[in-house]
């Protein structure tokens, strides 16, 4: 009986070590990540009153703090990283998927908003199932 208890304890310890090593981790499938990115793209475009650009986030991009929380799901969460930035066009890469976000200032904004760079933007997105160029 003592040997059975010792064997059960050692088996439980082995499972714990394998769990720490990530053997049992299962991340989302590529198709699921693609669906999440397409959903995020639709959310970005859905704002009728526009969105404010977050400046000063050179590593995350202007829209990264909006994109990454919405990619979350069960399992290992994918992360979209800023791949390139050219003017108001930013490309985010994650799991072989490229999300392109093009920001256009909303019409009718005040001169003060332009001077303070406190503009709202309408966003157009494009999702491709390939790496960003």
What pLDDT digit, counting tens, does each position of 37-53 carry?
A: 888 888 888 877 788 77
Claim: this prediction has a pTM higher than 0.75 = no
CB atoms within 10 A of CB 60: 17
Each residue's pLDDT tens digit, 76-99: 567 788 888 888 899 998 888 899
Edge-to-edge strand list for the sheet holding 51-52? 51-52, 120-128, 97-105, 89-94, 81-86
Tell me, what's the pLDDT at 26? Answer: 60
What total number of domains does the chain contain?
A: 1
| Domain assignment of residue 68, yes or no | yes
| Domain assignment of residue 133, yes or no | no
| Domain assignment of residue 34, yes or no | yes
Tell me, what's the pLDDT at 47? Answer: 78
Tell me, what's the pLDDT at 7? Answer: 93
Domain that holds residue 52: 27-128
């Amino acid at each position: 009986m003592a040997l059975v208890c010792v064997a059960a304890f050692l088996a439980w310890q082995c499972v714990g070590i394998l769990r720490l090593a990530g053997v049992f981790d299962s991340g989302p499938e590529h198709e699921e990540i693609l669906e999440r990115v397409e959903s995020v793209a639709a959310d970005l475009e859905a704002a009728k009153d526009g969105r404010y650009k977050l400046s000063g986030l050179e590593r995350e991009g202007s829209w990264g703090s909006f994109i990454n929380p919405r990619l979350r799901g069960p399992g290992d969460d994918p992360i979209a990283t800023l791949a390139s930035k050219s003017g108001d066009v930013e490309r985010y890469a994650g799991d072989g998927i490229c999300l392109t976000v093009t920001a256009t200032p909303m019409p009718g904004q005040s001169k003060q908003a332009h001077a303070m760079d406190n503009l709202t933007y309408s966003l157009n997105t494009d999702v491709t199932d390939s790496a960003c160029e």
